[in-house]
Amino acid sequence: MDSESSYADQYQDSVTPYDKTAAMALDEQQYYKPHDDMSSGSELKHPLMTEYDVLGENERWPTPEELQTMVRTADYIPRAAFLIIITEFCERFTYYGVSGIFQNYIQNGYKVPDSNPGAIGGGKHMATGLGNFFQFWCYFTPIFGAIIADQWWGKYKTILVFACVYLVGDLVLTLTSLPVSIRHNGALPGLIIAMIVIGLGTGGIKSNVSPMVADQYQRNRPFIRRLKNGKEVLVDRDTTIQSVFNWFYWSINVGSLSSIATTELEHNVDFWPAYLMPTLMFIVCIGVFWFGRNKYVRIPPTGSILIKASNSLTVGFKQWRLAKKSGSIITGEDGKPISWIDYAKPSYMVSAPSNVTWDDHFVDELHRTLKASKVFLFFPIYWLCYGQMTNNLVSQAGEMNTGSVPNDIMQNIDPIFLIIFIPIFDKLIYPGLRRCGVDMGPILRISIGFLLAAISMAYAAIVQHLIYNTGPYYDNPGDNHNDISAALQIPAYAFIAWGEIFASITGLEYAYTKAPASMKSIVMSIFLFTNCGGAILAFCFNSIAADPHLVENYSICAGLMGAFTFLFYFCFFKYDRTEHQENAL
């Protein structure tokens, strides 16, 4: 095929005559421009095309006008993606099943009459501190899992190996929670060992499972699909990825309901069956993931991508410094000086250093990744607020009247709300807004999520104030509870849940779409690492994470989150304007 042949001719076997007409229009409208260095015999492809971008029945390519005016809709989610979603459900079932009862397990003594269930008897400070450590560790280790996947093993093998490590941690936790181990002081060391091992396993899984589920959808170009009723819709990759992460996050929250079962087991039986159940579920998790081994789209590792990125940034900085000293600053098409990162592009170098192993496109992707990472700097405050749900709000419920249910069952209000509202947002609210011409960009969605988290913390402060002003124990209830209903906590969890839909899900989507193909696990791990920042901030709050200072704790969280919400939107609202154009690169 010679370099002058048209895009329509190249794909004449894979499109209908109706589609071919549209494809020829793409040539006329210069949708495809051949590279200057393409010689005769080279295969020409549209810049956004992959081997999966083949038109099916009742599909065609859109015109430029349709790309600008038609409402974008999501495509069908591949079956392989659903296998990974089921795997994530099983893993989160295990994670929340064991961690959801940590607060009581650590804080309270074993078989103490008229007290909440417990095992270690370390008190509220130890329980909150170890809980924050576990959160920090689980979101620190994804960096290592991402490096291993992107450079050596690939996502599939990394997930499978680290899942086996995870299972070892589950077994240690289950065995050391047996009554004989608790009575012989084996619970605390067993818990610490299990936390470390489970955290390692989590790191290898979390940084790779969410990019891998999105990898299963491989169509890049927008296309028109004619529905059965004759209506045509514009199917868009960005909208599809958003839908994939909505359902991925939905599975996480269905899995997190396991803590309802484990809290009931700890309350009515003992801790060892409460830990045994999620351990058995994790065996199912490994089995489901292995079952799909021949069905997954696997992106191969690319080698020393971090070294390549580091070298390009170093070269770019040095070339920028030299340009400043010599007065030869380069300006872009807009007349403004280009970024210092762009000086790493070989096309801008008079004589490229010997260690240049990248091209201009790699520098563009790296620049975009660093730009996206700036957005993540605001997430630690959000995770500080979110983390209150699994420790301080659990203890808050323990100071209230919960009737016949355990105090730590209240945290399940959050996933219940998410299970209800994620499909509503995915199928009704977001499509309805798009039909009205309101396409909420990721920055706006994250800002709304941050604001809802601030409202949740402000409400929690009000509830804590009411607890302290209600007898019989007022601001020093200890292991007892005041005469106030735990139902008052429900709005706090509801606001947190709605905030997750806007902030947390969008963060996952943003991390995936902004990362170059060779660095998706790395960028996802950077996003997850922001959770470590939240845990570190929680350590700083540990001195006021106890009675009678919890009103101040929640109030400071609310104030910080509110202030950072407006600062975040002020800094990044312009990013939404170029969202679709940037993703098309």
Residue 57 lies in a domain: no
Can you tell me which residue has the tokens 């009411």?
466
Domain annotation covers residue 390: yes
Any idea what the CATH number is for the domain that residue 404 is in?
1.20.1250.20
pLDDT at 436: 85
Query: Based on the domain organization, do 415 and 488 belong to the same domain?
Result: yes
Q: Which residues of the chain have pLDDT under 70?
A: 1-52, 303-304, 350-355, 579-585
**Is residue 321 domain-shared with residue 221, that is, in the same domain?**
no
Q: Where are the alpha helices (DSSP H) in 141-236?
A: 142-148, 154-176, 179-183, 187-215
CA distances, 433 to each of 236, 237, 439, 500 (Å): 16, 18, 7, 19
Neighbouring CB atoms inside 10 A of 78's CB total 21
Strands (E), 17-152: 59-60, 72-73
457 shares a domain with 321? no
Same domain for 153 and 255: yes
Number of structural domains found in the chain: 3
pLDDT of the residue at 259: 85
Can you tell me the distance from the alpha carbon of 198 to that of 137, in angstroms, rounded to the nearest whole number?
A: 9
Give CA–CA dist 439/224, Å, rounded.
Answer: 19
pTM of this structure: 0.74
Q: Do 111 and 202 fall into the same domain?
A: yes
For residue 339, count CB atoms less than 10 angstroms from its CB and return exposed for 0-12, middle for 13-18, buried for 19 or more.
Answer: middle
Say if residue 16 is in the same domain as residue 119: no
Predicted local confidence at residue 335, as pLDDT: 74
- 436, 531: one domain: yes
Residues 11 and 127 in one domain: no
Position 303 scores a pLDDT of: 67
Query: Which tokens belong to 332?
Result: 């872009």
Q: State the residue range of the domain holding 43.
A: 1-47
Which secondary structure element, helix H or strand E, spans residue 234, and what is its range? Answer: strand 232-235
Statement to judge: residues 415 and 544 lie in one domain: yes
Looking at the fold, whether 96 and 169 belong to one and the same domain comes out as yes
On average, the pLDDT of the chain sits at: 83
Q: Where are the alpha helices (DSSP H) in 436-549?
A: 442-468, 490-502, 504-514, 520-540
Measured distance CA(525)–CA(514) in Å, rounded: 13
Residue 63 maps to a domain: no
Residues 187 and 205 in one domain: yes
Which long-range contacts does 68-71 make (Cβ < 8 Å, 24+ apart)? 70/224, 70/232, 70/233, 70/234, 71/233, 71/234, 71/431, 71/434, 71/435
Q: What is the pLDDT of residue 137?
A: 92
